[in-house]
Structure 1
Amino acid sequence: MENESLKLRNVGNEKYGTDKEEVTGEDDYDPHLYRKVEHPTSNSETLIHLLKGCLGTGILAMPEAFKNAGMVNGLVFTFVIGALCTYCLHVLVQAQYTLCKRYRVPILTYPESMKIALESGPKCLRPYAKFSPFLVDFFLIVYQLGICCVYIVFVAKNIKAVADEYTTNDFTLTQYILMSFIPFVLINCIRNLKLLAPFSTLANVITFASFGVVCYYVFQDLPDISEVPAFGTLYTFPLFFGTTLFALEAVGVVIALENNMKTPKGFGGYCGVLNVGMVFVTVLYVGMGFVGYWKYGDLSKASITLNFPPQEFLAKSIRILYSVAIFISYGLQAYVPVEIMWKTYMLKHLEGSDRLMVWEYVLRIASVIVTFVLALTIPLLGLFISLFGAFCLSALGIAFPAIMELCVKWPNDLGPGNIVLVKDIALIIFGITGLLAGSYSCISEIVQKLSAGQLD
């Protein structure tokens, strides 16, 4: 461990410009003071970015999530899942801070943190340390590509809903997905995120304007609330869990935001950026799910925009505008897996090549192809959302942070009665159960719908 600590310390000093002679001991080292971020963000800017990262297609799927849980279950358990996500994010950020402090480096990535934590954890977990970065990267890549699949299907479904009102051509959803391939390739070939910044601002404006239109529709002629089922079935509850987790969890965004803050200590705490942002997001999601399900009941669709009257101009406009916003966001979401695959796995095998840019574009186009193949194979928007939420975020957002905290505090800092150990084991079991149950329910539903030819 001492050699590993020294190695990490030297890498951190070299990478981030830390003067290791200033470091006199673990208790004296504050990683936040040694971070050198080129363009640090303020607390308010970080909060805005957090809201932006959480408000995607997931919020439009909340009425269908409530349909799978029932009104009362949906209301209660959305708050529970929101609180759980927030707590696990705190656990993850604090564990990473402790590791940075222990090994005297300003910043550690999620995969690096997982590896180092396992190396210092219980002996039964240490053999898995060398494989853990690949596992974390796998879930991160699958999750981000899954978001891209959701975006493709979302755009195609909403464009089809509008086009069907104006054309007599009976194009299928598959054809609309194929027609959007080139635009998605082009936006994913933008290598510099700064070029996407103006479009991202436009997407944010469209997104928040869309919420106003959604409220306009859902609050009109609300039915008697007693007609809406209070409880769903045990079989469909995992679908609710996956969708809600997909909507609320933003583990990749949170780590990046905390690492780029001007005052990272303002991220945590009772009134910190994370709590304020997650409370706002959770309340917004609960409101959307509650009122949307109250309005449309069992007719709630995978995106609430698909429930709006197809013949009305306002409904058509919001479908088009929101599709544009989601299309722009595809470039941002696809940027993450491409960066991981390119910088972590491919670049080291291409050193000295004079065709690095060509290979990077090959990777970007291949990533789009993979997401389109999945979208074409399983064009089921709601189940896509639930599947990737249950499969990826149960691990990344719940189980892995608990494993990391357990290892970081092992063996002498587990609290009275080993309460930290008990709590983390419970979180790990819950995360694995959510992954297995949610994935099983989603895959079962996907098979049934594909067998019956139901693509809506």
Structure 2
Amino acid sequence: MTLNSFPEDQDERGAKSFPNESYPSNSNENPMPNDGAENVNHTSMDMTPVGTGLDQISNNTSAPHQTQNKPGKWRMATLIPPVGSVPHDYEPYDHRGDIVKGATTNTETLIHLMKGSLGMGMLAMPVSFKNAGILDGIISCVVVSFIASYGMHQLLRMQHHVSKQLGVPLIDYADAMKHAVTGGPKYLSWLARPAPYFVDFFLCSFQIGVCCIYVSFISNNLKQISDEYWITLNIHTWFVITGAIVLPLNQLRNLHHLSPLSTAGDFLVLGGLGVVFYYIFRDGITVSPEVALIPDTPFKGFALFFGTLMTAVQSIGVIVSLENNMKTPADYRKPFGVFNIGMVFITCLYGFTGLVGYCKYGNATQGSVTLNLPKESILPVLVKLAFAFVILFTYPLQCFMPIDILWRNYVRIHVHKSSNKKWAYNSMLRIALVVFPVLISSLIPILDLLISTVGAFTLPTVGITFPAIMELSVFHKEKRLTSWIFIKCIALIIFGIFSMILCTYVCLFSM
């Protein structure tokens, strides 16, 4: 696992700038000069930090975003080419090589996708089966994974479609949605102006939510070890201790410094998962008498399961970035392509882990299966420390996307051009992205409920609702909107909105 960096010549979204001769930009201003924050190096898909699904942060999810750099003005995309300026046969995939260096093969991409599934999302699956029961858990795992995967197919398809219309190799999620809904049906076209901000809000909310989960995971594991071998402190004290440890790490501007630790993290995670499965199967496959096929409260169980599984499998950053960095991106979304093969593997792996973990520990299953490992043996202690270590040094990577979005689009344009002030404001933003997760973790100290809440609130919107809105709008503009496409998109929009509202409500009132 290595961390590569993009050049410092970047646009307002933080993506690598590239020449585009198809159309002029509406902005006549020069890019803002480099400052202390400009040394944030962008990561390529050689990086596979461990976590909850959205683990590999590549700025290709926010690739070229042309903006008007006027302080005090909301940034709006200006990627609107003159009529007839884009060749009819323009193919974005053919021009990816102009901006993507070190592109990955199909096999490498599949390995990255599978590696990205090994982490906290997997460790939380047993408790999700505890909430849903065996029967509902298995069915929901397949159905929710299918819907989440289809949403990603829609998103990638619409990003490619808009890129082709605009004559650009890549376009970010926010701009793609803005241009997709522009000129669409009247009941959706009003979204054109606020669309980039909605996308930014939910993407940042998810990544900050992942940071909250990381703080809770590290704190819970360290507390369990400390209670057994050292001193007993309440969980809120451990939240503060974890925040104090993370604080200096999150000030790193150059993520390349984490490369050796990221490489070591691969081996620690694989070894840790091996130990987890060893303890699950050590005494043979036994089923706890507390295991239920269907829970007493099926709707509540599904809501909690839904949030956890969405957090685990709806890895927008990973999925989009992997496709953006492929040598043959057209192979990614084929019926038997890289993405579908990877998602089948991930769904089976997560379902298997959740099933055997719940069967082993029953109602005693905790928010992370590592917390169920024996306390009296040294090997489980080492596993908990290993996972805590890996998650700790993955924290700055998870903060990368919200820092990039918030700084470049909402903070920097309001800061005086003094480089010292920019460095100070950027540092304060990084501090806030540690303090805020610590506070949220303190408000929701139960790890499994925190995971479910984060997934239920953020991902149905950006992973299901928005892609369906984009597809409906694009097909309407092109007069290709059939009854089937209309019904399908409306159903997905309704499902995404209601699942977000209802599942978030259940998660919050389950505390």
**Normalising to structure 2: TM-score of the pair?**
0.81
1:366 aligns with 2:427: no
Q: Match of 1:377?
A: 443
Task: Calculate percent identity across the aligned residue pairs.
Answer: 39
Corresponding residue to 1:291 among 353, 356, 360: 356
Q: Deviations over 1:148-182 (max 9, x none)?
A: 00000100100111111112x32111111211222
Letter of the structure 2 residue corresponding to residue 154 of structure 1: F
Q: Aligned partners of 2:126, 2:247: CA distance in 1, in Å?
A: 31
1:177 aligns with 2:239: yes
Q: Aligned partners of 1:210, 1:62: CA distance in 2, in Å?
A: 16
Q: Aligned partners of 1:148, 1:15: CA distance in 2, in Å?
A: 29
Instruction: Return the offset for 1:280.
Output: 1.4
1:127-138 equivalence runs, <5 A: 127-138=190-201
CA contact (8 A) 1:26 1:102 kept: no
Q: Deviations over 1:90-137 (max 9, x none)?
A: 110001100111121221111111111111311121122111111110
CA contact (8 A) 1:54 1:249 kept: no
Report SS of the residue matched to 2:170.
Answer: coil
Corresponding residue to 1:311 among 354, 376, 394: 376
Structure 1 portions without partners, runs of 5+: 1-10, 447-456
Q: Which moved more, 1:45-54 or 1:339-348?
A: 45-54
Instruction: Return the offset for 1:43.
Output: 2.6
Q: Aligned partners of 1:177, 1:277: CA distance in 2, in Å?
A: 35
1:162/1:149 CA distance change after superposition, 3 Å: same
Q: Aligned partners of 2:233, 2:502: CA distance in 1, in Å?
A: 36
CA contact (8 A) 2:199 2:462 kept: yes
Q: Match of 2:49?
A: none
Q: Match of 1:4?
A: none
1:152-171 equivalence runs, <5 A: 152-167=215-230, 169-171=231-233
Q: Match of 1:45?
A: 108
CA contact (8 A) 1:16 1:106 kept: no
Instruction: Return the offset for 1:54.
Output: 3.2
Q: Match of 2:457?
A: 391
Q: Deviations over 1:376-426 (max 9, x none)?
A: 22211101100010110011111111111111111455454x211100110
Q: Match of 2:183?
A: 120
Q: Deviations over 1:426-446 (max 9, x none)?
A: 011111111011101111012
Q: Match of 1:57?
A: 120
Report SS of the residue matched to 2:456.
Answer: helix
CA contact (8 A) 2:290 2:363 kept: no
More helix by share: 1
**Normalising to structure 1: TM-score of the pair?**
0.90
CA contact (8 A) 1:239 1:442 kept: yes
Instruction: Return the offset for 1:348.
Output: 2.3
Q: Match of 1:450?
A: none
Q: Match of 1:97?
A: 160
1:163/1:226 CA distance change after superposition, 3 Å: closer
Q: Match of 2:317?
A: 252
Q: Aligned partners of 1:207, 1:87: CA distance in 2, in Å?
A: 29
Q: Match of 1:205?
A: 267
Structure 2 portions without partners, runs of 5+: 1-12, 24-83
Q: Match of 1:78?
A: 141
Q: Aligned partners of 1:155, 1:92: CA distance in 2, in Å?
A: 33
CA contact (8 A) 1:54 1:281 kept: yes
Corresponding residue to 1:214 among 251, 267, 276: 276
Instruction: Return the offset for 1:15.
Output: 4.0
Report SS of the residue matched to 1:200.
Answer: helix
Q: Aligned partners of 1:69, 1:54: CA distance in 2, in Å?
A: 21
Q: Aligned partners of 1:414, 1:311: CA distance in 2, in Å?
A: 64
Q: Which moved more, 1:282-291 or 1:101-110?
A: 101-110
Q: Aligned partners of 2:481, 2:211: CA distance in 1, in Å?
A: 41
1:405 aligns with 2:468: no
